[in-house]
């Protein structure tokens, strides 16, 4: 059925703290993707997470700031570390079914104060 459950749906965090976002897929998937959507902007890919290997980060994103875990084929987490107001965004996880049709979680709306 290809459903991703993402949580939390929203959070307000203090600067300097970290937030971990979780995504659970209802079936096994090879690749999971993490995107960021800054206010008024489109989606930008942060990294690709494959099970059993380290995540692959896109230009401008680093592991120290956005550590990712992928412990099995149905689950992944993204941590936003040492947050600043500039990290206020919607964060979305995604995967593929079919195998080229993308589907997304419900998004996490993060506000850093």
Binding site for another protein (CB under 8 A): 6, 10, 31, 33, 41-43, 45, 48, 90, 92, 94, 96, 98, 100-107, 109
d(CA 65, CA 67): 6
- At residue 80, φ and ψ (nearest 5 deg) are -100, 115
- Distance of closest approach, residue 102 Cβ to another protein, in angstroms: 6
Report cis status (omega within 30 of 0) of the bond before 12: no
- Distance of closest approach, residue 40 Cβ to another protein, in angstroms: 9
- Distance of closest approach, residue 95 Cβ to another protein, in angstroms: 8
């Amino acid at each position: 059925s290809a459903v991703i459950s993402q949580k939390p749906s929203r959070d307000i965090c203090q600067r300097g703290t970290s937030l971990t976002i979780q995504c659970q897929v209802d079936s096994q998937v090879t690749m999971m993707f993490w995107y960021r959507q800054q206010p008024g902007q489109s989606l930008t890919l942060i990294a690709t997470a494959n099970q059993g290997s380290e995540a692959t980060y896109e230009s401008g994103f680093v592991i120290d700031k956005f550590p990712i875990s992928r412990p099995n084929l149905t689950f992944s987490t993204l941590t936003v570390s040492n947050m600043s107001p500039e990290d206020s965004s919607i964060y979305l996880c995604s995967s593929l079914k079919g195998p080229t049709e993308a589907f997304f979680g419900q998004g996490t709306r993060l506000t850093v104060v």
